[in-house]
Amino acid sequence: MNNLDDLDTRILGALMADGRVTWSELASRCGVSSPAIAERVRRLEKRGIVQGYGVVVDPVQLGYDITAFVAVGLEHPQYRQEFLAYVQSTSAVQECHHVAGDGDYLLKVRCGKMADLERILSEEIKGLPGILRTKTSIALSTVKETTVLAI
């Protein structure tokens, strides 16, 4: 698994559970010194395994009540770059996956209300050149959502 040793695995597990853990606490959990932990984490960052640190927020408490998954089919690959530029520039699109199957891309969209979703779908996404079709599923509730990987 990407040449991770036991110490790397323990470090990653601890960081995924609590990205705010101090060097000394992480070192204590892993049985090594703080400088050794700091060096290991820097190495994991340099390798691109640790890509960043952030805060997990409750979207509903911030007014983002709607979560939708939108499958997007492009008419032709020539339209890909403009579509991907839109995806990168739009904060409502939280995730974009190039997929196999009926669509070309699967988007995770969060917004405040149905009118926002309607605008995003009807005006923004379907307004892009080369959009052949969309298929939207709206999440009624979220049972599990995590960024923690089993390692």
* Domains identified in the chain and CATH numbers: 6-46 (1.10.10.10), 60-138 (3.30.70.920)
pLDDT digits (tens, 9 = 90+) for 18-70: 999 999 999 999 999 999 999 999 999 999 999 999 888 999 999 999 999 99
pLDDT at 13: 94
CA–CA gap between residue 29 and residue 36 (Å, rounded)? 13
pLDDT digits (tens, 9 = 90+) for 90-106: 999 999 999 998 899 99
**Full-model pTM:** 0.87
